[in-house]
Amino acid sequence: MKKKKIKVGVVGIGHLGNYHLQKYQKLENCEIAAVSDIVMDRAQKAAEIYQCAAFSDYRDMLGKVDAISIAVLTSDHYTVARDFLAAGVDVLIEKPICATLAQADELIELAQRKKLILQVGFVERFNPAIMALEKVIKKPLFIESHRLHPFFERGTDVDVILDLMIHDLDIIVKFVNSPVTAVEAVGVPLLSDKIDIANARISFASGCIANITASRISGKTMQKIRFFGIEGYHSVDCQKREIVSLGKGENNEAGQLQIIQNNIEVGSHDPLEEEIRSFVNAVVNRSRPLISGEDARKSLELAIDIIKKMKVAEEILK
């Protein structure tokens, strides 16, 4: 007997929503059942491609899907996710989980109570280079990250901290795995009414310090994160999906310590496809997702703390 396919849907058929649909279509155990977008024309175009139902109101999808991807504005994450979870639907929600900790807590509690999957879409966790980092990193002492992008209207409903920086916050929180003891931050609004460039310096109880820069008005794209520790230096280029790892080697004939490059195997998979596949596997096996609501809450809490502590350039110059 053929196994029953999971009926999936996507809310928000914009840049990311369309990519989610492409990845779901590749999975044999998934059937794209419905799509929704407040711009009905976008929903209908997607429905024609994937031969599914189209709606302008996401609530019309309730009862028609088993699992859903939510790729709407951050301000709408809570309402849309809450309605699907309340209806018994497993949810993959794009980062950040919500706009506030209170909203995140309610979604986490709702998913737990109804025994549903709640995964948050931090796609960089599925980046082959980030996954390879787990093979060599031990205890980071200093971390430096730069996530710089050209300006796009997409994402400007929130500060660059929740738009871009939160990717690196999620990675750093995972690898440092230690309580935050201090946060300093500065930000500048340039092309929107939100913070477009930001830098944060975070201290952890373990002694690690992270210096993080995010910008959405750069002339070029850069997505690099560097880890320094006793065991060596690891530099990850998330855009190129490459990692350079240096460590201590043997002494040479003169007794001098040599620096060697660690040979680390990096996969070639597509990060978003791996993220979607991971979500579907969690749905099928009823297992904890790689990035749960609880995991996403940690990076959201840190992001909100950064925003609260942030000194805006205009205030400094007064």
Q: CATH 3.40.50.720 in the chain, residues?
A: 6-123+272-292
pLDDT on residue 115: 98
| 65, 54 contact by CB (below 8 A) | no
pLDDT on residue 260: 66
pLDDT beneath 70, residues of the chain: 1-3, 154-155, 249-260, 313-318
CATH topology of domain 6-123+272-292: Rossmann fold (3.40.50)
Residue from 66, 63, 64, 118 nearest 91 by CA: 118
Q: CATH 3.30.360.10 in the chain, residues?
A: 125-268+302-316
Q: How many CB atoms lie within 10 A of CB 302?
A: 23
pLDDT in tens, 188-247: 998 888 899 999 999 999 999 999 999 999 989 999 999 999 888 999 999 999 999 887
pLDDT on residue 232: 87
Q: Which residues pair with 283 in a beta bridge?
A: none
pLDDT on residue 311: 76
pLDDT on residue 116: 98
User: What is the spatial distance between Cα 206 and Cα 3, in angstroms, rounded to a whole number?
Assistant: 48
User: What is the spatial distance between Cα 186 and Cα 199, in angstroms, rounded to a whole number?
Assistant: 6
Q: What's the pTM?
A: 0.91
| 103, 118 contact by CB (below 8 A) | no
The correct answer on CATH 3.10.560.10 for the domain covering 125-268+302-316 is: no
* Residue-wise DSSP of 35-93: EE-SSHHHHHHHHHHHT-EEESSGGGGTTT-SEEEE-S-HHHHHHHHHHHHHTT-EEEE
